[in-house]
Structure 1
Amino acid sequence: MAIAEDDPLTAADQAIRAQLIVPEQREVFDYWRAKASDGGYPTRADIQPAELRRLLPSLSLIDVMADGGEERLRVRLAGTRLRDYFGVELTGHYLDEYDFGDQTGYWDAAYHEVVRAGRPAQGVIPLTAWNQPGIFQFWLRLPLANEEGRIVMVLGHDAFLQSEKAHALAGKANLRIA
């Protein structure tokens, strides 16, 4: 993907894109960047699921909700692959309804960077919180803004790999915030 030299997000974008191991995540990232205008963030209206039809089972949209002054994250849409691996339907539920065990701090830090700092984040983590330690979740989270530029939604892509190759790749990747 070619990024204009005068784009203020060039270095950050290139850094996070270089960390994306899964080709489909590079595709989602490139799509997200192409929808961004003037170095800003894409809005939900900019994201057309039909343009990512092949990736829909692995996509999620997470609303940033203000609940009595406290920020909560509600899953607006979770692809079928997420349900298959997590064993529950996430759509319509708040993320804080689930017990992520010792991974809670990890996910809090990831969403903090995306929502509050407005930066894309990616990483890999074993599905130990979901009793599937042999499966690795390669995840990508991208901010979506409203017309005022405030982050109001997160676009996600998740790939699940189980193999020696996934274990080897997981050793090379971790939480990376651009």
Structure 2
Amino acid sequence: MLHDMLALWQKEAAGGIPERNALTARKLQPFMRDIAIYERNGEGLQRRYRVRLMGSGIVQYYGELTGKYFEEAIPEKFQERWYASADLALQTQKPIRLILRADTFEKSHMTAEYLYAPLKADGGLVKFVLVGIAFDGKRSWATVEAEERQKQEQG
């Protein structure tokens, strides 16, 4: 799913970073259950992220966060991870892939693969982040981490 979502982003990014409006509900429909869209307001330490959209597949793990700012909804000890991930996608202006333990909401048995991809607002400012998440509760974090390390060594 994340490979297909990245391919869509890359197709829309042919002329640079796609605008949020270019990724319509129709185009995102196959991924809707497993995506979120964050909007950054402000800069530097004054920045805040609001969850603009959260698919039902994410809601079942994190709860409904649509319309909320990170600091209103995310436990404080995990906020920096959420900010850093979104910031990285906007700063690099490229899609990024992360594999993490999904322990934010006491779900330490879960692992998740994330795709963060920057999007432009109507005025051209890069301030939205499209996030795709694939959860896995069948393999331990140690197994996932070992598999990824092996892939890096081989690749």
TM-score class, shorter:
0.7 to 0.9
Q: Deviations over 1:111-156 (max 9, x none)?
A: 2211233222221111222111111121111000135542121111
Task: Give the gaps of 5 or more residues in structure 2.
Answer: 150-155
Matches within 5 A, 1:57-76: 57-66=33-42, 70-76=46-52
Task: Give the gaps of 5 or more residues in structure 1.
Answer: 1-23
Counterpart of 1:105 in structure 2: which amino acid? Answer: E
| Aligned-residue identity in percent | 20
Matches within 5 A, 1:33-44: 33-38=10-15, 40-44=16-20
Larger deviation, residues 152-161 vs 46-55: 46-55
Mark the CA change 1:140 to 1:60 in structure 2 (over 3 Å): closer, same or farther.
same
1:115 pairs with 2:90 = yes
Aligned residue in 1 for 2:152: none
TM-score, with structure 2 as normaliser = 0.82
TM-score, with structure 1 as normaliser = 0.73
The number of residue pairs the alignment matches comes to 148
Q: What is the CA–CA distance in structure 1 between the aligned matches of 2:131 and 2:92, rounded to whole Å?
A: 16
Aligned residue in 2 for 1:5: none
Aligned residue in 2 for 1:45: 21
Larger deviation, residues 107-116 vs 161-170: 161-170
Q: What is the CA–CA distance in structure 2 between the aligned matches of 1:54 and 1:170, rounded to whole Å?
A: 28
Q: What is the CA–CA distance in structure 2 between the aligned matches of 1:49 and 1:131, rounded to whole Å?
A: 31
